Amino acid sequence: MQLYTKIMIALIVGVAAGLVANLLDIGSLVAFFVAIGQFGDAWIDLITMVVIPLVVASLVVGTASLGDITKVGRIGGKTVVYYLVTTAIAVSIGLVLSNIFLRGDAGMSAEALEGLRGQYLAEGQSRVAMAEQAPGLVEVLRGIIPRNIVEALANFEMLPILFFSIFFGAALSSVPKETRDPVLRFFDGVNEAAMVMIHWIMALAPYAVFALIAAVIAEFGAEVLGGLLVYSLVVVAGLLLHLIITYGAALRFLAGVKPLDFLKKIRAVQLVAFSTSSSNATLPLTIETAEEEVGISNEVSSFVLPLGATINMDGTALYQAVATMFIATVLVGDLTLAAQFTIVLTATLASIGAAGVPSAGIIILIVVLQQALPPTVDPAAGIALILGVDRILDMCRTALNVTGDLTAAAVVARSEGETLALVQAAGD
Ligand code: ASP
């Protein structure tokens, strides 16, 4: 049985088990599923553990074997432009859908509004406190250059790690061959061992997915969706539209692959992103799939994918646009066009600053709320409204985030003259 099929079965059984516990309100079963969620979290740690060795080794080898530093600049330029443009499109899709469907009370009764406010206001306030500590865009950009690479590695700061690895790889390529080769062989060995670790860890994926999903559903259940149904559906519809229209077009016209064939190859990555709610934790599998299933070179994937997991979050940006519109509609009424334009700018930039970890999007959302809503609106009250369904929407947006990264890698690889293995398999 393929890995994808196993994960899919685990997901379905996990949802069903979680629902049974939640809907029948069987306390001990809920507690049991929440407890085995720990196993899922341990598995996330296991796969996250591989991220840094894999990214550093594969980026050093990738850059050193490019031989030409201008190529790094060219790939970097294309990647960043592509990421910004697709994210802005995602936000726009979110805004258009919100203008159509989130009007009036946006499907929320006054009762539901009060209920959510009472239940989540304190948590909303704690998120606002967390947002105050999150670095702003300028700080993120300024922080790209690490003062101390060991510190950056220890703190899992992806952008400084990427910067150092590329710089180091480029320098390595200009060192005499006899000195360079042993170093390259070392990193090559690390890279290959990391890939083997991923294979081993992925064998446990179905069990971890079951544990993760059963815990989330048992704890959050379906009832919380009630008042937030319209909002949640608009987010999910936006994510699907972006997948079908934007990625569909990019894959067909820019990467030259059949979108459905491509999506089939990356299904397991999407499911793991969905189950873990973390682009970072999914990154090792994303890289492995890009290279082994889609046929993207290590040079492109080692650069485009880690960068994407950190700065490219179309799903998050789209969700932030819809969430801001929803909160505005419920708390202050419709937003002007100018305020909506602010959302395009701030959500696009804010999603760059969001880390690829669970719930990063809702913390960065506070920045967007502060920019786009009148100062009289307390962001904590807004966050309180949507917090109940956030974990489930986080799963959906993370799946789109990693799809966006992989699509970008395919587009950039094709633009660098690569023929994707997928193209041959599809007989194009
Ligand atoms: N969980 C998302 C990710 O890792 C970020 C977010 O919270 O939107 O891609």
Average pLDDT of the residues in 174-178:
89
Give the best-scoring range by mean pLDDT among 40-54, 240-254, 327-341: 240-254
Evaluate: CB of 278 within 6 angstroms of ligand 1.
yes
Q: What is the pLDDT of residue 106?
A: 66
Instruction: Judge if the beta carbon of residue 415 lies within 6 A of ligand 1.
Output: no
Residues 6+ apart with CB under 8 A from 296: 290, 409, 410, 413, 418, 420
The domain in which residue 239 lies consists of 3-427
Question: In this structure, which residue's CA is closest to atom 6 in ligand 1?
Answer: 361
Higher per-residue pLDDT: 334 or 183 = 183
In this structure, what token pair is assigned to residue 405?
């990264």
Check if 398 has its Cβ closer than 6 Å to any atom of ligand 1. Answer: yes
Q: Does pLDDT of 352 surpass 60?
A: yes
**Looking at residues 27-39, what average pLDDT do you find?**
84
Residue 144 has pLDDT above 60, yes or no: yes
Residue 76 CA to ligand 1 center (angstroms) comes to 22
Q: Which two tokens stand for residue 62?
A: 């990738």
Distance 392 CA to ligand 1 centre (A): 11
With cut-offs at 50, 70 and 90, classify the pLDDT of residue 229.
confident
Q: What local confidence, expressed as pLDDT, does residue 374 receive?
A: 82
Cα separations (Å) of 384 from 158, 321, 363, 380? 30, 16, 12, 6
Q: What amino acid is encoded at 267 in this protein? A: R
Question: So what's the pLDDT on residue 223?
Answer: 60
pLDDT band at 134 (very low <50, low <70, confident <90, very high): low
Per-residue pLDDT, 72: 80
pLDDT for residue 427: 43
Lowest-confidence segment of 73-87, 152-166, 214-228, 244-258 by average pLDDT: 214-228
| Ligand 1 contact via 325 beta carbon (within 6 Å) | no
360 lines ligand 1 (CB under 6 A): yes
Q: At what angle do helices 69-101 and 158-173 cross, to 10 degrees?
A: 160
What pLDDT does 189 receive?
Answer: 94
For residues 398 and 366, what is the distance between their CA atoms, to the nearest angstrom? Answer: 18
Q: Which of 394, 395, 400 to mutate to test the pocket of ligand 1 (most atoms within 8 A of CB)?
A: 394
Calculate what percentage of the chain has a pLDDT beyond 90. Answer: 42
Predicted local confidence at residue 234, as pLDDT: 95
Nearest to 315 by CA among 372, 262, 264, 365: 365
Between 2 and 80, the higher pLDDT residue? 80
Whole-number mean pLDDT of the chain? 87
- Is 279's pLDDT higher than 50? yes
**394 Cβ below 6 A of ligand 1:** yes
Query: What pLDDT does 143 receive?
Result: 79
pLDDT at 117 over 70: no
Q: What is the CATH number of the domain that holds 410?
A: 1.10.3860.10
Banded model confidence at residue 174, pLDDT cuts 50, 70, 90: confident
Residue 197 Cα, ligand 1 centroid: separation in angstroms? 24
Residues 65-87, mean pLDDT to the nearest whole number: 86
Rounded to an integer, the average pLDDT of 91-96 is 95
**How many domains does the chain divide into?**
1
H helix runs in 174-278, sequence order: 177-203, 205-220, 229-241, 248-249, 259-265, 267-276
Mutate to test the pocket of ligand 1, among 359, 363, 403 (most ligand atoms within 8 A of CB): 359
Residue 47 scores a pLDDT above 90: no
Residue 406 has pLDDT above 90, yes or no: yes
Which residue has its alpha carbon closest to ligand 1 atom 1? 358
Q: How far is the CA of 67 from the centre of ligand 1 (A)?
A: 34
For ligand 1, mutation pick of 87, 91, 313, 324 (most atoms within 8 Å of CB): 313
Two tokens at 276?
A: 């873990």
Q: Looking at the predicted structure, is the pLDDT value of residue 425 above 60? A: no
Return phi, psi of residue 289, to 5°. -65, -40
